[in-house]
Amino acid sequence: MNTKSLRALGFLVLILAAAAGLASYTSATRRAQTPSKPTQHLAGMKEIYLAGGCFWGTEHFFKQVRGITSTEVGYANGHTSAPTYEQVCSHTTGFAEAVHLQYAPDQLALSKLLELYFLTIDPTSLNRQGGDIGDQYRTGIYYTDSTDLPVIKAALSALQAKHSKPLAIELAPLQNFYSAEDYHQDYLDKNPSGYCHIRPELFRIAREANPYVRPSDSELRQRLTATQYAVTQHAATEHPFDNDYWDEKREGIYVDITTGEPLFVSADKFDSGCGWPSFSRPIDNKLLEERQDKTLGMLRIEVRSKTGKAHLGHVFDDGPKERGGLRYCINSAALRFIPRDSMVQQGYGKYLPLLQAKSEPKKK
């Protein structure tokens, strides 16, 4: 091999070594990151770190709760840097298996979140949850916002009143948190039959624990515009071609303006030429109520949201045949549109797969 070939080979080796080193450094840096406030794209979210035994089950439990916008499992409040799972299990690092939860406070109150957390743990058991034993399985609430402390203390005080033994739940500000290895993230999503210390029936409770509710009339009067209130509460009709969403073409989800409950997705929206938003179907028929409407000398089918009891519009049978033949003619004032890019931030991230599924073209 001549000198020029040797030099080229050496240069190639150096490039490969540098790339490998960069990849290793990037991975180590990612795992060594310390906690920070929610990033800009999640502005308005709040966070809390909860230790509740094996983090696989705790994460999966909170994934079911409406208002939780993101979860991440990792190791909290130890005295070493960037520990591995094996090191944490050696009982020499002081870390607890914990879940970093980000949540939408306008959808899920911290007091409710803690109430659900208490269901998943034995609050008087020290360094043991279920069959898992060790200081890494201790229970703990670690906060990053000191204004949350009164709520947390009140919740713990109420819980203590229900137990004769002292609580073993550690309460402290978050000192550090290191993301766990990738295979631990979303573990029970990837391994549905995997180990979980939380009773199966609690996952149903989690899914049903934070339902959409109809606000009081006084709340609606304060929160809605005059047009929104007139449309949703008195079945008024806004002007065609002069409303917010009649020509909205972005991808996203449409929710009930009164409750925030998702009703329609952009993939089912079409231009009917009527001047109001038109959809071929709702996300789920169970979300709507239909009533006969004999006003204005016509017989029509009125559509209302089942939870919010809000007037939405009417449904007609003159929609596109290839879409099922229905046209849900809905007032913009009865809806709030969340674009795809904001769905996670506003607590609707779990509906993204539904949006993607509905966006797929039908096979011929």
**Which residues are identified as catalytic?**
54, 329
Kindly give the residue spans of alpha helices, DSSP state H, lying in the chain: 3-32, 55-63, 85-89, 110-119, 149-160, 187-190, 201-208, 217-223, 226-234, 352-359
Strand partners, 349: none
Rg (CA), the chain: 26
Do residues 268 and 280 touch, judged by C-beta distance below 8 A?
Answer: yes
Say how far apart CA 349 and CA 262 lie, in whole Å.
12
Q: What six digits make up the tokens of 290?
A: 């239909």
What are 316-319's contacts with CB under 8 Å, separation 24+? Answer: 319/270, 319/272, 319/278, 319/280
Closest by Cα among 58, 216, 183 to 132: 58
- For the chain, the first-to-last Cα distance in angstroms comes to 60
Residue 98's alpha-carbon distances to 63, 75, 94, 192, 237, in angstroms, are 14, 6, 12, 20, 50
Using DSSP, how many helices (H) and how many strands (E) does the chain show? 10, 17
Task: List all residues 6 or more positions away from 239 whose beta carbon is below 8 Å from its beta carbon.
Answer: 275
Phi, psi of 14 (to 5 degrees): -60, -40
